[in-house]
Amino acid sequence: MKSMTGYGSAKRELKNFQIEINIKSVNGRFLELRFHMPKEYVTIESDMRKVLSENFARGTVDVFCSRKVKNHSESTGVEINFNLAEKIHKELTALSKKLKLQSEIHLSQIITSAPILRVREDVEISKSERGELISLLSESVKKCLSERIREGQSLKKEFLNLLMQLSRQVDEIKKLKEMHNQDVSQRLKEKIRNKGLAGEIDDAKFQQELFFWTEKTDIAEEIQRLEEHLRNYRNLLLSKSSNGKKIDFYTQELLREINTIGSKSQSSKITQYVVESKSLIEKLKEQAQNIE
């Protein structure tokens, strides 16, 4: 079992660059990959997506990548926009004549008037740097996965504990089921007596009424399905693979069955166990959102 929460970081020194990758993953219904990196690495994004998709099934994964130049003298240059400089000089000269100014146009005035100078870095990505980046990404992914697995083991213990408590609640409901059916019979008899109809309804008709009422309030099928869902739930938790979507599905099914029991039951004792069961299932539901 894996959690969807994790973090991994890796850094590497190359000849002219220092590359660092940080991966942060959080809960998400589907797999969403978000990249925050220099424009130099845009062409490598598809390769990075492939690595991440092979290792993450669900969650929102943010990849932060930085590329720091160590020796600017070897990888930078200066570009001058001569056309723009000439136009600025021409317009400043015209302005000076129009205002009848005697001052000369200085270079500093031209430079500060517009971005004429631009520092250019060599952004071409070599094949070796590309390979180093993918290798660094894999290292970060491995560390992030380690965190997700560690957190997943902790969540598994919490799941099993909640499941054990829920199983006890279902066992108690099952024990009360027969008493519940007897209570239904007794309630029906009292209802007939209170209406003064006891002498008008023969035993066969009473049994028929009792059958329909018992069918309406019977919770045997719901209990059976609950027990089956609990077994499947436990098997998913103990399996080696991460089954967040299936766990989420069975959590919804558990809640549906327990709600049906609550709506059918007319026993205050069963209702107490239903309320406690719903509280436990809500906790399972909350934790299920953390599983990959």
E strand or H helix at 61? strand 59-69
Is the pLDDT confidence value at 168 over 90? yes
Q: Which residues have C-beta within 8 Å of that of residue 15, sequence separation ≥ 6?
A: 70
Question: What is the predicted pLDDT for the residue at 189?
Answer: 67
Question: What is the predicted pLDDT for the residue at 59?
Answer: 93
Which tokens is 176 given? 């009360």
CA distance 179 to 177: 5
Is the pLDDT confidence value at 75 over 60? no
Q: Cβ distance 125 to 100 under 8 Å?
A: no
Owner of token pair 């209802």: 191
pLDDT in tens, 251-286: 999 999 999 999 887 778 889 999 999 999 999 999
Is the pLDDT confidence value at 72 over 60? no
Q: Phi/psi of residue 79, each to 5°? A: -110, 135
User: Which of the pair, 86 or 250, is modelled with greater confidence?
Assistant: 250
- Other CB atoms closer than 10 Å to residue 116's CB: what's the count? 17
CA distance 131 to 137: 10
pLDDT in tens, 91-123: 888 888 888 777 777 777 777 777 777 655 555
Question: What is the predicted pLDDT for the residue at 11?
Answer: 93
Instruction: Provide the β-strand partners of residue 67.
Output: 19
**Residue ranges per structural domain of the chain:** 6-72+126-147, 73-121, 149-288
* CA-based end-to-end distance of the chain: 8
Question: What is the predicted pLDDT for the residue at 56?
Answer: 94
Q: Which residues of 67-92 are buried (b: 16+ CB within 10 A; e: fewer)?
A: beeeeeeeeeeeeeeeeebeebeeee
Q: Phi/psi of residue 212, each to 5°? A: -65, -40
pLDDT in tens, 6-18: 999 999 988 777 8
Q: Which residues of 14-50 are buried (b: 16+ CB within 10 A; e: fewer)?
A: eeebebebbbbbeeeeebebebebeebbeebeeebee
Instruction: Provide the β-strand partners of residue 69.
Output: 17
pLDDT in tens, 175-198: 887 666 666 666 666 776 676 655
CA distance 40 to 37: 8
Question: What is the predicted pLDDT for the residue at 218?
Answer: 77
CA distance 39 to 16: 17
Question: What is the predicted pLDDT for the residue at 124?
Answer: 66
Is the pLDDT confidence value at 213 over 70? no
Mean pLDDT over each residue of the chain, to the nearest integer: 84
Which tokens is 62 given? 């943010």
Fold of 6-72+126-147: Ribosomal Protein S5; domain 2 (3.30.230)
pLDDT in tens, 22-62: 999 999 989 999 999 988 888 899 999 999 999 999 999 99
CA distance 89 to 95: 10
